[in-house]
Amino acid sequence: MLKIDGSHLEGGGQIVRSAVALSAVTGIPVEINRIRAKRKQAGLRFQHCAAVRTVACACNGDSEGNEPGSDRLLFFPGTIHRSACVDDVGTAGSIALVLQSWLPVALTKGGILEVTGGTEVPASPTIDYLENVLIPALGLTEGAVSVTVTRRGYYPAGGGLVRISADPQHPGPISLNKDPSCGIRSCSSGLPAHVTERQAATAQTMLSRALGIEVPVEILRSDGRSKGSSCTAWYGSKGFSSLGSPGLPAEEVGKTAAAGLISEVNSPGEADPCLSDQLLISLARYGGSFTTSSYTLHARTMCWLLALFGYEIQVREGREVVFSA
């Protein structure tokens, strides 16, 4: 059994989510100790437990200690199979982060997952970033992964509902040198229609001027117990999201998303730094290379974790950071 210090380097839920995914695809059981020990609320949170459950569902795995507050988790992988799983985070915890754990496992044999929780919440990628930035960067067959958002979920109410289906895949090496797509997705739940329209209009004006192209816009609204808004903008393998909050003008939400993306586009590298660590499991398994602007603590943590499982990532730091395997 591989023992992992859950407080090492970044020391957050990323270690748990990635370790169980790697356990499933390698067949190596893991024991994770001191989970999030340096955090104000140490131990597992609801979204981490959901990630463990969904990976276990996809590989007929089993676990011990998978409950909120636990500082120790044992995970015993089984055989990966085509699965149909349903899970409820139980809070507004990030659905996108749960999917990041499940997807590398599901792509082995295929599967379907339906998750209830938060679609756009603080300190995590939005579901729209996952769909339009992360998934296209994985080099999958077109249409291999389908994401359907039935209902949006914002903090603190949650209640978002997402269905994702994945076909079996064996991707080629990671390569981000391709014609970049771009877009803006402005979303809300429980708010007047003009909120998403104002977010989108501001973001589109700024991005179209900066990029020299007409950036397409998609406006999505849903009903449910959650109330909130978001704006996600992307250009190739770079993206940026912003969230609405009470009293914050919709124009500011759109402006923040656009300004963040413009900054990333003007920075070195093919991928934004937040995407870089999300690509490292695929890079380790399938090879390839990509560049980004900085070697983040999350990426350092992933390189350390992958090495424990026998995967070596080469990192070359300069004006750009180059990851290769």
In a domain, 193, yes or no: yes
In a domain, 291, yes or no: no
pTM of the predicted model over 0.85: yes
101 and 202 belong to one structural domain: no
In a domain, 41, yes or no: yes
| Domain end residue (candidates: 113, 148, 171) | 171
30 and 150 belong to one structural domain: yes
Q: What is the pLDDT of residue 298?
A: 98
28 and 135 belong to one structural domain: yes
215 and 146 belong to one structural domain: no
In a domain, 256, yes or no: yes
48 and 163 belong to one structural domain: yes
Q: What is the pLDDT of residue 224?
A: 85
Residues of the chain below pLDDT 70: none
83 and 135 belong to one structural domain: yes
Check: CB of residue 323 under 8 Å from CB of residue 286.
Answer: no
In a domain, 18, yes or no: yes
Q: How many domains does the chain have?
A: 2
Q: Read off the CATH number of the domain in which 28 is found.
A: 3.65.10.20
112 and 208 belong to one structural domain: no
DSSP state of 298: H
Catalytic residue list: 298
Cβ within 8 Å of residue 3, ≥6 positions away: 30, 31, 33
The continuous run of DSSP H or E covering 121 comes out as none
| Domain end residue (candidates: 109, 139, 171) | 171
Q: Which residues pair with 62 in a beta bridge?
A: 76
Residue 163 sits in which domain range?
2-171
75 and 201 belong to one structural domain: no
Q: What is the pLDDT of residue 132?
A: 97
Q: What is the pLDDT of residue 151?
A: 97
In a domain, 304, yes or no: no
| Domain end residue (candidates: 237, 265, 293) | 265
Q: Read off the CATH number of the domain in which 240 is found.
A: 3.30.360.20
Query: How many angstroms separate the CA atoms of 200 and 242, rounded?
Result: 12
154 and 187 belong to one structural domain: no
Query: How many angstroms separate the CA atoms of 111 and 100, rounded?
Result: 14
The continuous run of DSSP H or E covering 204 comes out as helix 193-211
209 and 148 belong to one structural domain: no
The 10 Å Cβ neighbour count of residue 86 is 12
In a domain, 307, yes or no: no
132 and 240 belong to one structural domain: no
In a domain, 142, yes or no: yes
210 and 140 belong to one structural domain: no
Alpha-carbon dihedral angle through residues 83, 66, 45, 36, given to the nearest 10 degrees:
-120
Q: What is the pLDDT of residue 309?
A: 98
The 10 Å Cβ neighbour count of residue 168 is 14
